[in-house]
């Protein structure tokens, strides 16, 4: 409830276990019902539809409690997504399954990871295409998971998911970063000496902020400083 009050997206996986509830499914349903008003993204399995009022009541319950997205996993048959007034299915991928343990966790982890890597931080940013891509990532994650034994060891990495899909839509996350120190952070009275230190450290680029006094307070770094500095170093300038 605190996360919801602070504006964070809240995901919830019912993940009902009969042993943990002593067989009292009604008590589990009551506890879940108390949580649902705080949930934005809900995952249920096809055996847990009664927690949402049955198969026919999923959309109505989602609307009543304010849940933005409900994803129902269908085992080997894939998954079904409920969003706004739309309902669609993503077929499962044929697999030589050796252990289904953790498949639901893998699916949901892949689904949520895809949304986060796509820059989704609120339900207002959701679109059908983003949800479809997240479903595909979850589907691939579950497909990879069932081909290995164990609940943890079988969970795939992002690279494995992307490889299994035959594409790299998120390859930017695997690219090396280039650090570009800002000259504003240097000692401006010893600018040349400090630039030499950066050169000797292997710094590949310098970042120059031109503050002209119109949109921000005037600073000592202006065009004349950049012209003089250009004569002192061969490092590329990243300027704005």
pLDDT tens digit string along 147-179? Answer: 778 777 777 777 787 777 765 444 444 556 777
Q: How many other C-beta atoms are found inside a 10 Å radius of the C-beta of residue 9?
A: 20
Which long-range contacts link 88-97 to residues 24+ away (Cβ below 8 Å)?
A: 88/132, 90/132, 90/135, 90/136, 90/139, 92/139, 92/143, 93/139, 93/140, 93/143, 95/143, 95/146, 95/147, 96/147, 97/146, 97/147
**Residues 183, 184, 185, 188: what is their CA dihedral angle, to the nearest 10 degrees?**
80
pTM for this entry: 0.65
- Length of the chain equals 240
pLDDT of residue 171: 46
pLDDT of residue 170: 47
Please give the DSSP secondary-structure letter assigned to residue 43: E
In the chain, which stretches have pLDDT less than 50?
Answer: 168-173, 215
pLDDT of residue 172: 44
């Amino acid at each position: 409830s605190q996360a919801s009050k602070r504006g964070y997206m809240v995901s919830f996986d019912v993940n009902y276990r009969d042993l943990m509830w002593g067989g009292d499914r009604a008590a589990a349903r009551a506890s879940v019902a108390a949580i649902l008003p705080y949930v934005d993204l809900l995952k249920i399995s096809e055996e847990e539809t009664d927690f949402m009022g049955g198969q026919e009541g999923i959309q109505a319950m989602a609307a009543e409690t304010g849940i933005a997205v409900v994803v129902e996993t269908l085992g080997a048959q894939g998954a079904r997504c409920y969003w706004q007034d739309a309902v669609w299915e993503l077929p499962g991928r044929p697999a030589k399954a050796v252990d289904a343990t953790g498949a639901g966790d893998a699916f949901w982890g892949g689904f949520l990871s895809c949304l986060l890597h796509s820059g989704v931080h609120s339900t207002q940013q959701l679109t059908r295409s983003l949800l479809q891509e997240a479903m595909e990532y979850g589907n691939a994650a579950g497909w990879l998971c069932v081909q290995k034994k164990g609940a943890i060891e079988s969970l795939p990495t992002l690279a494995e998911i992307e490889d299994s899909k035959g594409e790299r839509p998120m390859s930017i996350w695997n690219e090396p970063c280039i650090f570009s120190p800002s000259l504003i952070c240097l000692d401006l009275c010893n600018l040349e000496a400090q630039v030499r230190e950066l050169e000797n450290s292997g710094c590949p680029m310098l970042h120059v902020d031109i503050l002209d006094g119109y949109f921000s307070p005037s600073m000592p770094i202006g065009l004349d400083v950049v012209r003089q500095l250009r004569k002192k170093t061969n490092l590329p300038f990243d300027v704005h």
